[in-house]
Amino acid sequence: MARAPHPYFTCPISWHTKLADAMADAREHDRLVMILHSRVQCGGSRALVEKSLRKDELSEVIERDFVPLASDADHPEPDVLALIAGLPAKEPTPLCIYVSTDGRVVQSSAGGRHPAVLLNDLQQAWTKRHG
């Protein structure tokens, strides 16, 4: 259940790479799982991780309140694909999905996110977690 650096991108956040491990960690610490579904060759994915998530305020909020999961959009886990399939619209990468400890998607957002917008997304998801 150990977290490690992002498998493709450089940022200060430690990530899970398996949904089951992330969900167990989230249940243990009463946090949301933040799934970052991205592609190594996607410029928007790279910018989100290496620019926005490098901001101290964002990385601190994610490390404190969320369990981050790095999901490879080119080789996704079936359980991650099932969560994506349940979203109301087909979303591009990067895709952030916020999942409660009971497996419910509480929010999602797609595309590159300015740090202030991503922080707002995180705050909204945290507010909805027990919804």
| Pairing outcome for strands 95-99 and 105-110 | antiparallel
User: How far apart (Å, rounded) are the C-alpha atoms in residues 122 and 127?
Assistant: 9
- What are 5's two structure tokens? 């650096």
**Residue type at 62?**
I
79-124, pLDDT tens digit by residue? 999 999 999 888 888 999 999 999 999 999 988 888 899 999 999 9
Over range 66-70, report the average pLDDT.
Answer: 96
Give the Cα separation of 95 and 109 in Å (integer). 6
What local confidence, expressed as pLDDT, does residue 92 receive?
Answer: 84
- What is the rounded average pLDDT of the residues 37-59? 87
Query: How do beta strands 32-38 and 95-99 pair?
Result: antiparallel
pLDDT above 90: percentage of residues in the chain: 62
Give the integer Cα–Cα distance in Å for 58 and 64: 10
Residue 31: band (very low, low, confident or very high) from pLDDT cuts 50, 70, 90: very high
The answer to whether residue 48 scores a pLDDT higher than 90 is no
pLDDT in tens, 19-29: 999 999 999 99
Q: E strand or H helix at 42, and its extent? A: none
Domains belonging to the chain, first-starting first, are: 19-128 (3.40.30.10)
In the three-class reduction of DSSP (H, G, I as helix; E, B as strand; rest coil), residue 9 is classed as coil
pLDDT at 130 > cutoff 80: no
